Amino acid sequence: MVELLSTKMIKSFTAIREEEHSNFISSIRSMRGSTTNITQKIFWCTNSVTCRSVKICRDRDEVITIVKEVLLLIRVFDVTDLFPSWKLLDKINGTKSRFVSAHKKVDAVIENILNEHIANKAFGNKGNGEFGYEDLIDVFLMKRVKENAELQFPIENDHIKAVILETLRLHPPAPLIGPRECRDQTVINGYAIPLKTRIIVNAWALDRDLESWNDPESFIPERFENSSIDFIGNYFEFIPFGAGRSMCPRVLFVLDNVTSPIAQLLLNYKWELPNGTNLKDLDKTEIDGITTTKKEDLLLVTTDHRNDQEF
């Protein structure tokens, strides 16, 4: 997995990211003065990069729609998880059938992609990527094992880096990390935790621990300026992507896909809430689930900081 998402592999997708980010910014410009659903725009931009990285072009819109459908399904509490032996519950609520349907759709698309890659390899093509390089599927099929690249992501603008880190602290991608298994018996706050106990780490609570953070409920990006705290598992009070060998391998891919659009949005546009909405009235409620998502999409009105000749 490290090979699939190594620094070298991430850099090979630069042209794809730049093109999709350019399309994203252009779509924002076309909505100047109008209310824009930023949540949907960002969702389609990030997933378009992912799809093109594995050469899902022809069926991209269908795959992204399926991904959205699956994310909605896994966020919903399912009573069948509490009573797995009651098969009748599956038929009543229909959740399982919807998962199976989505699974079959994804399988059909992935099978076509794999067959295409295998056929191209048979004809001697070294890379199936859009620009002649290997894509993620090529590396996966070859099952290569190389030296692990260092997990580093340089973000040149310190303020943008601080904003991203503070956002990850207040809204971790996965509030609950796990399950994990204890390798040793230990005692925490007087409670004995036996060997091989399965546990879930509450990353959301760690990010709001008064012993680790000053005024943890407030959005203060400056706390990360001139700070050595990072997000790659070296500081257990801040683990938005987990830590250790089980850490999320998509850190480089995700952050490289986020930083540039955010920088361009902040540089080129002025943002306002629609219909005279006050910032204090903005609904920041999040949906319960395995990932952090706003309950209501973010709607904003955009105006340019610069004129058309400067773009």
| Domain locations in the chain as residue ranges | 1-146+248-311, 152-246
Q: Pick the closest to residue 153 from 19, 50, 257, 292 (CA basis).
A: 257
151 has a pLDDT exceeding 50: no
The residue to which tokens 């056929």 are assigned: 119
Mean pLDDT across 277-287 = 83
Annotated binding residues, written as ranges, equal 248
- pLDDT score of 6: 65
- pLDDT score of 17: 85
211 has a pLDDT exceeding 70: yes
> Which residues are within 8 A (CB) of 108 and not within 5 positions of it... i.e. 6 or more apart?
none
Question: Across 125-268, where does the E strand assignment appear?
Answer: 176-181, 186-188, 191-193, 198-202
Cβ-defined contacts of 134-143 (< 8 Å, 24+): 134/9, 134/12, 135/53, 135/54, 135/55, 136/4, 136/5, 136/9, 136/53, 136/54, 137/54, 137/55, 137/113, 139/3, 139/4, 139/9, 140/4, 141/114, 141/117
Q: Pick the closest to residue 204 from 284, 291, 126 (CA basis).
A: 291
Q: Which of 30-34, 59-63, 183-187, 225-229 has the highest mean pLDDT?
A: 183-187
- pLDDT score of 277: 84
144 has a pLDDT exceeding 50: no
140 has a pLDDT exceeding 60: no
- pLDDT score of 150: 38
Tokens in use for 277? 């909405």
Confidence category of residue 126, pLDDT binned at 50, 70, 90 = low
8 A C-beta contact, residue 33 and residue 301: yes
Confidence category of residue 311, pLDDT binned at 50, 70, 90 = very low
pTM given for the model:
0.58
* Mean pLDDT (the chain, rounded): 75
Q: Pick the closest to residue 256 from 111, 60, 46 (CA basis).
A: 46
8 A C-beta contact, residue 307 and residue 300: no
- pLDDT score of 3: 54
- pLDDT score of 206: 93
Tell me the CA distances in angstroms from 56 to 11, 19, 44, 113, 130, one per residue in order: 19, 15, 14, 7, 10
Annotated binding residues for heme, written as ranges, equal 248
- pLDDT score of 244: 76
3 state DSSP class of 218: coil
Report CA torsion sign: 233, 239, 245, 247.
negative
Render pLDDT for 193-207 as a digit per residue (tens, 0 to 9).
999 888 888 999 999
Mean pLDDT across 42-47 = 84
3 state DSSP class of 43: helix
